[in-house]
Amino acid sequence: MNEALNRNHKLLVTIVKKNTGSKIVQASKEAGAEGGTILIGKGEGIHETKKFLGISVEPEKEVVLTLISEEKVDAVIKAVEKAGRLDTPGTGMGFVVDVQRIAGITHLLQQ
């Protein structure tokens, strides 16, 4: 396995409403990221519970994982915040996580 210590990559996790993930990936690519992975999730926050015919329905969310070099973090998160309207309550959230190791994507390690 090609695994290496990582010193300069971060993981941007963005959680948005269903059908918004592609817009987030596109904005992150325009800001310098190489792409992203979209996962389906379920919302449990204060803005998530809706009623339909008296039954609580919890809407699906999309979780976008974007691995980016540290120097691109600010530009990418600003682009994602704008594309996802994350400054509006109930639209989603994004956060950055340190990455300890990377495996399987050696082209990113050569940057």
For position 1, what pLDDT does the model report?
44
Residue 36, token pair as written in the block:
């992203």
Contact 80, 86 (CB under 8 A): yes
Q: What is this structure's pTM? A: 0.79
pLDDT of 31-77, one tens digit each?
999 999 999 988 766 555 666 666 656 678 999 999 999 999 999 99
> Radius of gyration (Cα) for the chain, nearest Å?
16
pLDDT at position 4: 55
Architecture of the domain whose range is 3-109 = 2-Layer Sandwich (3.30)
Does 96 score more than 50 pLDDT? Answer: yes
Residues whose CB falls within 8 Å of the CB of residue 30, separated by 6 or more in sequence, listed in order: 79
Q: For all residues of the chain together, what is the average pLDDT?
A: 84
Q: What is residue 55's predicted lDDT score, i.e. its pLDDT?
A: 65
Choice between 16 and 45, residue whose per-residue pLDDT is larger? 16
Nearest Cα to Cα of residue 100 among 67, 71, 55: 67
